[in-house]
Structure 1
Amino acid sequence: MEAPAAVEDIPANTGAEPVEDAHEGFLGGPSDPSVLTLYADHVACSERPELKLSSHGRKVHSLGKPVPAIEGLVAGTGLSPLIACSVDTGDRGLLSVFMEWWYRETSSFHLPVGELTITLDNVSSLLHLPVIGDLHAFEPLHMDDAVQMLVDLLMAGHWTAAARAYLLHLLGCTLFANKSATNVHVVYLEALRDLSMTERYAWGVADLCWIYEHFSSVADSTADQEYDEDSPCACRWIATKKTVKRIRTSAYRERLDRLRIPDVCWIPYGEHREVRDFHVRSCYSGLLCWGSVVVYYRPERVVRQFGNT
């Protein structure tokens, strides 16, 4: 499929004054329904309770560092940065209101300042995961095949099997967390079959596909004083129950409605470039896939996040 055509840069006065539009659309929503074709079924069209969040942070912390016998095997996969990137408590008010601004058709948040999205560069800087490499095409598993894979890869009685179990739990608590709060799909074991080859996968792309498809990522706003610039940027923040109860969904809505272009930090990782450089692959426009998940990636809609105006 061809990549979507580039759009014009966002005008400098975006979000300054309401503009009359000749198109007839949704009251209080998009005036031109030709782009956001699914708006009638969008969460923004109905008053719903805040999201229920399940945090896996404590599960990751309970794992601790891998035991010395498997530490090298885990590090060799390139997934060890995830050990430090879990959040104990999520801000459901913040996530709930951002859900109202997210649209699948454009893979972006529609805010008063224009569109923003989670980019490949964001994932690379936040999690220190590669955004180039192989994309895994998982095959559907019959129950008997799944059982056999579990026996072959997790019950072999050696340290490699222990490393696979550790990594499967880590992936289930971070990149592929779901609303079950306890389960991880056995199909991801296939990417851990040969640990010497696991590093070749574009895990950053896998994470972005999962976020775009499920949008179940956790956000918070309290800085961690122990963060150092060599760590993944996701380690900068730590959330507490006191923090996340401070602001409710309605207050977040009001703050975002008042947001203006000068209020936004469009390029937040300038000081982190010596550790995690910008990769030109972040400018790719088209489809991203991981297994059966296929999503649009459209950086041309968020040019300010790439230093353009």
Structure 2
Amino acid sequence: MEFAADVFPGGPSDPSVLTQYADHVAGSVWTGEERLELKLSSHGKKVHSLGRSVPAIEGLVIGTRLSPLIACSVDTGDQGLLSSFVERWHRETSSFHLPVGDVMITLDDVSSLLHLPMVGDLHVFQPLHMDDAVQMLVDLLMVSAEAARAETGQCRGLYVRLQWVRDIYKRRCHAGHWTAASREYLLHLLGCTLFANKSATNVHVVFLEALRDLRYVVHGISYTT
């Protein structure tokens, strides 16, 4: 891509594609400004602390074909490597702009690295209203409406804490409510891996929709990058 100093110092000559370049970390690199230190959030310890699913739900978890995610977390302390990739990633194109050209993460990469099947149609999660999120937590995780509202209120949005999910998972296992326990285990697993976010503590309630019918989970989740 060509750069023109009269358009934006160090930026693209055509701003119609990389519309958010002015706020990109590359701008700070170009001008020599101090940058905030990168924070690596890894949920590997959270996944390992919960461990493998209890025997009673192991069949359901394996049946979704998501169990390879249990062992997919990788910890790395190479700040230089992380910085290099962050500086070359552009959200608008979902690709890395490298000296050799643009590099994009494909579904084949996801399948090869995470050992997940890429089958079925891509699923788009529909936006949730708070009342819908609360009802979903009540119906699928067997919590009270009061508990659901208290948790989403504490998270200030359509999120629940991973610790909260771990706690109710253990309670459902103790009570023998295996379907709900399976959903809680898988929601925690997805929140720590495929759908991890910058909060490092929360998972979005919307992903529960994909766990409504566990027989079709592998067809209902969109493994997009």
TM-score w.r.t. the length of structure 2 is 0.72
> What is aligned with 2:137?
150
**Aligned pairs for 1:159-238 within 5 A:** 159-205=178-224, 208=225
- Match status 1:36 vs 2:18: yes
Look up the equivalent residue of 2:141 and give its one-letter code: L
**Aligned pairs for 1:243-262 within 5 A:** none
**Aligned pairs for 1:1-309 within 5 A:** 25-31=7-13, 33=15, 35-46=17-28, 47=33, 48-155=35-142, 158-205=177-224, 208=225
- In 2, the alpha carbon distance for the partners of 1:73 and 1:161 equals 11
Q: Structure 1 residue 126: deviation in Å?
A: 0.7
Q: Structure 1 residue 135: deviation in Å?
A: 2.8
- In 2, the alpha carbon distance for the partners of 1:140 and 1:33 equals 29
Q: Structure 1 residue 37: deviation in Å?
A: 4.1
> What is aligned with 2:155?
none
TM-score w.r.t. the length of structure 1 is 0.54
SS in 1 for 2:195: coil
Report which structure shows greater RCO (CA 8 Å, sep ≥6): 1
Q: Structure 1 residue 51: deviation in Å?
A: 1.6
Q: Structure 1 residue 96: deviation in Å?
A: 2.4
- In 2, the alpha carbon distance for the partners of 1:35 and 1:138 equals 25
RMSD: 2.7
Q: Deviations over 1:100-138 (max 9, x none)?
A: 112234322122222212122111111122333233333
- In 2, the alpha carbon distance for the partners of 1:158 and 1:53 equals 35
- In 2, the alpha carbon distance for the partners of 1:114 and 1:145 equals 44
Q: Structure 1 residue 186: deviation in Å?
A: 1.2
Q: Structure 1 residue 23: deviation in Å?
A: 9.2
Q: Structure 1 residue 150: deviation in Å?
A: 1.5
Q: Which has the higher helix share?
A: 2
Look up the equivalent residue of 1:45 and give its one-letter code: G
Unaligned runs of 5+ in 1: 1-19, 209-309
- Identity of counterpart residues, as a percentage? 78
Look up the equivalent residue of 1:61 and give its one-letter code: H
2:124–2:222 contact (8 Å) kept in structure 1: no
- In 2, the alpha carbon distance for the partners of 1:54 and 1:148 equals 30
Unaligned runs of 5+ in 2: 143-171
Q: Structure 1 residue 158: deviation in Å?
A: 1.8
Count of aligned positions: 188
Q: In structure 2, do the counterparts of structure 1 residues 32 and 203 end up closer, same or farther at CA, with 3 Å as the change threshold?
A: closer
- In 1, the alpha carbon distance for the partners of 2:129 and 2:93 equals 35
- In 2, the alpha carbon distance for the partners of 1:104 and 1:153 equals 33
- In 2, the alpha carbon distance for the partners of 1:190 and 1:201 equals 9
Q: In structure 2, do the counterparts of structure 1 residues 33 and 165 end up closer, same or farther at CA, with 3 Å as the change threshold?
A: closer
Q: In structure 2, do the counterparts of structure 1 residues 189 and 106 end up closer, same or farther at CA, with 3 Å as the change threshold?
A: closer
Look up the equivalent residue of 2:103 and give its one-letter code: L
